[in-house]
Amino acid sequence: MSKAKCAIGGDAYDFVVQSLAKAGMLAQALEVFETMKSESCVPSLVTYNVLINSRCNAGEFGKALDLFQSMKREKRVEPDRWTYNTLISGLCSSGNTEGARKLLSEMRDKNIAANVFTYSSIIKSLVKEAKPEESYKVLEEMMAAGCNPDVFAFNGVMQGFARSNNMEKAREVYQHMVESGYKPDNVSYHILIHGLAKIGKLDESLKILSEMAMRAAGYVPNVITFSTLIHGLCRTGELEKALEVFGSMLEAGCKPNKYTYTTLIAGLCRAEKVIQARELFEKMTQACIPPDAVAYNSLIAGYCKRGSMDEAEKLYREMSGGAGLQPTIVTFNTLIDGFCKLGKLGRANELVAEMGTKGLAADTCTYRILIAGLSRATKLDEALEVYKQMREKKFLLDPVSCVSFVGGLCKTGNIDQAYAVFEATRKSGAVPNPETFRILSESLIKLGRVEDAQKLMEPAKARDITAQ
């Protein structure tokens, strides 16, 4: 058969090559393809396109380009838009956007009209590469070429700007879309609302949400949009607005997820509305959404803040028991701090030991809490021992724990130790606050150590700390 020229006919070869390639038997398809060419049979454009597509699907983009180049060199079959689109899509998916854009330029030179798929592939790739300005240029090129983009192309460019927090440009693209006669969809609105909320422009985000609800019948923000708004409002302390958005979310039939609940629980606890937070916590479990460590920690912190340590401990036991969650260092530090502030140092120390049985080591925060608690209780010998352990681990006091510790040492007459702690804190780069300077300098002056007090204040004046 190989000695005859196209013995079985080009159409038959085309059929076999295409069938093998479509069946995933690319190696066999290529073998028949080479036999076909050796017998002077000219493969059809469809055969080339099927093989190029198969190469791209197999991730063999270089070999797909080789096949494309040989097709052009032989000048027996001209590539069409399908050929170019396949290669452009493949190159974009492999991260070779520059190569894809060269092919688009080649299409123009050959008067092969690119379509929405062509441009959208490149836009999507540029957005993925965090090049929103470039993607916008391609969108404008697309429109200038008389190719009408779809809403997905506009959304892609908007998303690119939103990801880089350039919401001014995202809104410009949105306006361009509307003015060009295109109807935004739910994704368009989501990009704007979510993007504005993410950068803290919550009033604008809420305004758009309200406008879109009236302008776009059937528009319902998704759970991510609602949750982003709620998170932003909680973060800025606008809890009432956050609860309003949560209510709107429920009315719209959008089910809150774990992130939504956890965000609100944390916000309520920070605002000392622990009862409401607990109610929401219960609703979360009723909705078959198991609370995570973050939700438990927020609620525990809320109870600790109001001194309700029995409730806080009950949650801790529930967390590590029925809920099957591993308490975190945050859990322990929160509880230890709560007990220290109530002067229950024995229970605080028990929790430190319990923390060790859970495979957790005390961190900087743990030591700071203990030192502050012991200082308030005037147990300075113990505080000094904890401070020694802290220093051995290269941990440092912060300005808040420093003022408690220095103040406690000064009250008990341990001025030299107070001075040493102060100096060590200052040398570590953590600038003690004005109250620490005042306490220590007054104690030094009372003892007649005016010169030491003056030395103490010199670096403070240089930093203008005493004026704070």
The fraction of the chain above a pLDDT of 70, given in percent, is 94
Q: Counting Cβ atoms within 10 Å, is residue 335 exposed (0-12), middle (13-18) or buried (19+)? A: buried
The closest of 367, 333, 369 to 351, measured between CA atoms, is 333
**What does the pLDDT read at residue 186?**
82
Whether the Cβ atoms of residue 17 and residue 50 lie closer than 8 Å to each other: yes
**What does the pLDDT read at residue 460?**
54
**pLDDT confidence bin for 205, thresholds 50/70/90:** confident
**pLDDT confidence bin for 4, thresholds 50/70/90:** very low
**What does the pLDDT read at residue 2?**
41
**pLDDT confidence bin for 433, thresholds 50/70/90:** confident
CA distance 23 to 317: 59
**pLDDT confidence bin for 1, thresholds 50/70/90:** very low
**pLDDT confidence bin for 42, thresholds 50/70/90:** confident
The answer as to whether 266 is a domain residue is: yes
The answer as to whether 328 is a domain residue is: yes
Tokens of 224: 């991510």
The per-residue pLDDT for range 252-274, each reduced to its tens digit, is 889 999 999 999 999 999 999 99
SS3 of 76, please? coil
pLDDT above 70 for 368: yes
The per-residue pLDDT for range 279-333, each reduced to its tens digit, is 999 999 999 999 999 999 999 999 999 999 999 999 999 998 878 899 999 999 9
Between 5-14, 81-90, 239-248, 253-262, the lowest mean confidence (pLDDT) is in 5-14
CATH number for the domain spanning 273: value is 1.25.40.10
CA distance 387 to 383: 6
The closest of 218, 143, 134, 220 to 179, measured between CA atoms, is 143
**pLDDT confidence bin for 48, thresholds 50/70/90:** confident
The answer as to whether 341 is a domain residue is: yes
Q: How many domains does the chain have?
A: 1
pLDDT above 70 for 341: yes
Domain carrying residue 329 = 256-346
Higher pLDDT, 401 or 275: 275
Tokens of 101: 């854009």
The answer as to whether 277 is a domain residue is: yes
The answer as to whether 53 is a domain residue is: no
The closest of 384, 376, 452, 448 to 421, measured between CA atoms, is 384
The answer as to whether 326 is a domain residue is: yes
**pLDDT confidence bin for 10, thresholds 50/70/90:** low
pLDDT above 60 for 446: yes
pLDDT above 80 for 383: yes
The answer as to whether 74 is a domain residue is: no
The answer as to whether 455 is a domain residue is: no
Whether the Cβ atoms of residue 200 and residue 185 lie closer than 8 Å to each other: no
Tokens of 165: 């927090």
pLDDT above 70 for 215: no
Q: Count Cβ atoms below 10 Å from residue 211 Cβ, excluding itself.
A: 12
CA distance 163 to 93: 19
**What does the pLDDT read at residue 3?**
40
**What does the pLDDT read at residue 343?**
94
pLDDT above 80 for 30: yes
